[in-house]
Amino acid sequence: MIEYANYLMPEQFSSIIKEHQAVRSEAGMFDCSHMGEFVVEGKDALKFLNYVLSNQFDDLEVKKERYSLLLDSSGFILDDLMVYRLAENKYLLVVNASNIDKDFKQLNKLKEVFEVNLKNVSEAYGLIALQGPKAKDVLEALIPGVGQLPFMSFDEFTYNNQVCLISRSGYTGEDGFEIYGGPQVIKSIYQRLYETSQVTPCGLGSRDTLRFEAGLPLYGHEINGFTTPIESRLDSFCGYDKDFIGKEALLKLKEEGITKRLIGIELLERNIAREGYMIYKDGINIGYITTGYMIPGTSNVYANAYIDQQVKLGEVVEVQIRNKMVKAKLRNRKFYDKKYVRGEKKNG
C-alpha cells in the first residue's frame, strides 16, 4: 500500500509483472474510486464546456464520452479528463484524483457568466476499471448487455436492483469498461469480480506500466502545469475552430515554434531510465525522462522524454543513470498496438 492523492492505494496485490500480464492476456480490475467526478448541468452547459475545455463538444451525443484537457490562459495543461454527456444539458466530468480541489475551484471561477450548475459528486461515486481481452465476457456474464456498448460510449445498467453507469474505454490499451456507482453496488461488483478466476486484482504499479506501454500520458509526468498540448502531442484534442481558454497562447506557440517535444526512447544497454534522469547529446543536455520501465515479461526498456526539438528520431543519445552514461535511441512512443474494440451493433 502507498499514499496517493490523500488515499492509501494498493501498489500491487501479487506483483506488477503478474498484474500487467494478466491485463494483456485475460482481465484485470482496478479500484479507481479515488478519481473525481463533477456534474455540469444547465442551459449553458455545452457552451460552458466548449469554453473551459480544449476539445469540441457540439457533436458529442448523449451516452457518448470524449477526452479533453483543462488549460490555463497560457495554454498549460491543468488536467486531462473524460467528459460524459448524460443528457442534453447535463454532463459528467471525471478528473484526476490529485487535481479534484484545484479543478473544481478553477471551473467554479469560470462559470460565473454562464447559466450552469457545477457539483462535486466525487464522494457519491465508486469506480472500477475492468480491462483486458476477456473483460467483455466476464462483465457480460455479470451484467448482461454491456458487451454491446460501442467504444467511447456508456449506458445505465442494473445490478442487484441498483443502477450503475458503465462505459467502454480504458487506460491500458486493451478493451475495457469503467463501472461507476454508489459505494455499495461498486463494492458488491468488485467482490463478485474478485471471486472470478479470470480476473486479477491490480494496483497502481501495473496501471502505470500498462498506460506507459500503450503510449498514454499521466498527469504529473508527461503532462503538467508547465507543458502544453503541442509539446505533449495532445494537440489533436484541441478544437481550434471554437474559442477556448488557452487557444490564443497555443496559436502563438504554433507560430513561434516549440523548443521541446515528447518522444520515445529505447535503451540500447541493460538499465532503466527513471523519471528525472537527464539526457545528453555530444555532452550537451537536450532533455529529461518523464517515465521509464522495462516492459513486464520482456527485456525491452523504454522511456518517455521531453527532448530538444532539433534532435531527430533515430539519433543515438545518452541517458545519465547515476554515474553512468547509457546509450539510447530516440523513437516513437508506440510501444504497444492498442487493442480497443469498437463493440457490437445493437439489433435494429
Domain boundaries, the chain: 2-213, 259-331
Architecture of domain 2-213: 2-Layer Sandwich (3.30)
If one counts every other C-beta atom within 10 angstroms of the C-beta of residue 38, the result is 21
Is 266 one of the annotated binding-site residues? Answer: no
Query: What pLDDT does residue 197 have?
Result: 86
Helix axes 183-194, 135-142, angle to 10 degrees: 120
pLDDT at res. 342: 63
162 or 342: which carries more pLDDT confidence? 162
Rounded distance between C-alpha atoms, residue 222 and residue 206, angstroms: 17
Closest CA to 275 of 287, 294, 285, 290: 290
Burial 146-181 (b: 16+ CB within 10 A, else e): bbbbeebbbeebebeeeebbbbbbbbbbbbbbbbbb
pTM of the model: 0.95
Q: How many helices and strands, by DSSP H and E, does the chain display? A: 7, 19
Contact predicate 91/41, CB 8 Å: yes
What length does the chain have?
A: 348
What is the per-residue pLDDT across 237-250, written as a single tens digit (0 to 9) for each? 999 999 999 999 99
Return the bridge partners of 37, or none: 94
Which CATH code fits 259-331?
A: 2.40.30.110
pLDDT in tens, 64-82: 999 999 999 999 999 999 9
Q: What are phi and psi of 249, to 5 degrees?
A: -65, -40
Residue among 106, 127, 57 at smallest CA distance from 86:
57
Position 343 scores a pLDDT of: 46
For residue range 175-209, what is the model confidence (pLDDT) as tens digits? 999 999 999 999 999 999 999 888 999 999 999 99
Under the banding of pLDDT at 50, 70 and 90, the label for residue 346 is very low
Mean pLDDT computed over every residue of the chain? 96
Which residue shows C-alpha cell 516513437? 332
Within 13 Å, how many C-alpha atoms sit on residue 51's CB side? 14
Residue 341, pLDDT score: 83
Alpha-carbon distance 322 to 295, whole Å?
21
**Does 32 have pLDDT greater than 50?**
yes
- Work out the average pLDDT over 115-144: 97
